[in-house]
């Protein structure tokens, strides 16, 4: 029976340190991690965890939204754990130990349902606030949209270099076909056309 810890952050720019400290504190036998959005369960670390777990194991997370931010996905994962007789520990949920397994399971199910609903609802609120912010920015004429990776002023150094290289080759006619130019710089043809449109 192993204790498996799962840690997730939404993007590569964020770090897992706080969650990994907790994994060490509880002496996890195995740790799986993801740096990917919680809106989908299509994550490499989560898939590896689901392949790894066996009956009698325990899965621990610091909070329920580390598993997912989607209500149905959380329900599905929790049911999968139950079916495999995997215990789930969520650090920010109180653990019930009444001595009656049926009552403990009922209390846990109730809390999981509530917290998974809260996680999805919070995600909806975040999206709504983003939408309202974009609308207000558009009205003020200050909305610039998502920053472009391939642009002269891109904050991504590699993106700037690719942009400058394509611009130089394109303007100097230093290419045979656009498909070849796209391959040279590791971009799709659609991306190449969008870059060329900015010259």
Model pLDDT for residues 157-191, shown as the tens digit of each residue = 888 899 999 999 889 888 889 888 888 888 898 88
Dihedral sign, Cα of residue 152, residue 156, residue 157, residue 159: negative
In the numeric block, which tokens belong to residue 161? 């270099």
pLDDT, one tens digit per residue, over 6-49 is 999 988 778 899 999 999 999 999 999 999 888 888 999 999 99
Provide mean pLDDT across the span 129-155. Answer: 80
3 three-state secondary structure: strand
10 a catalytic residue? yes
pTM for this prediction: 0.56
Alpha carbon 71 to chain centroid, angstroms: 15
- What's the confidence (pLDDT) of residue 144? 67
Query: Which own/partner pairs from 88-97 qualify as long-range (CB within 8 Å, at least 24 positions apart)?
Result: 88/58, 88/59, 88/60, 88/61, 88/112, 89/58, 89/59, 89/60, 89/61, 90/60, 90/61, 90/62, 90/63, 90/64, 90/115, 91/22, 91/60, 91/61, 91/62, 91/63, 92/62, 92/63, 92/64, 93/64
CA distances from 13 to 10, 35, 107, 123 (A): 8, 9, 36, 19
Write down the catalytic residue from 10, 37, 63, 154.
Answer: 10
Lowest mean pLDDT segment, chosen from 13-22, 59-68, 71-80, 118-127? 118-127
For 36, the token pair is 């990917």
Report the pLDDT value the prediction gives residue 50, as an integer from 0 to 100.
96
Number of C-beta neighbours around residue 198 at 10 A: 11
**What value does the mean pLDDT of the chain take?**
85
What confidence tier does 99 reach under pLDDT thresholds 50, 70, 90? low
């Amino acid at each position: 029976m192993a204790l498996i810890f799962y840690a997730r952050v939404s993007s590569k720019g964020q770090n897992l340190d706080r969650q990994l400290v907790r994994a060490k504190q509880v002496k996890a036998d195995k740790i799986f991690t993801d740096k990917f959005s919680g809106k989908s369960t299509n994550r490499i670390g989560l898939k590896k965890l689901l392949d790894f777990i066996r009956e009698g194991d325990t899965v621990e997370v610091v909070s329920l939204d580390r598993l997912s931010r989607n209500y149905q996905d959380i329900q599905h994962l929790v049911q999968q754990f139950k079916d495999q007789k995997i215990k789930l520990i969520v650090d920010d949920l109180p653990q019930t130990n009444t001595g009656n397994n049926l009552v403990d399971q009922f209390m846990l199910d109730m809390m999981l349902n509530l917290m998974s609903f809260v996680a999805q609802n919070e995600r909806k609120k975040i999206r709504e606030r983003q939408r309202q912010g974009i609308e207000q920015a558009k009205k003020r004429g200050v909305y610039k949209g998502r920053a472009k990776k391939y642009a002269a002023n891109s904050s991504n150094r590699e993106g700037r270099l690719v942009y400058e290289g394509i611009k130089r080759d394109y303007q100097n006619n230093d290419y045979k076909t656009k498909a070849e130019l796209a391959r040279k710089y590791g971009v799709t043809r659609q991306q190449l056309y969008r870059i060329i449109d900015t010259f």
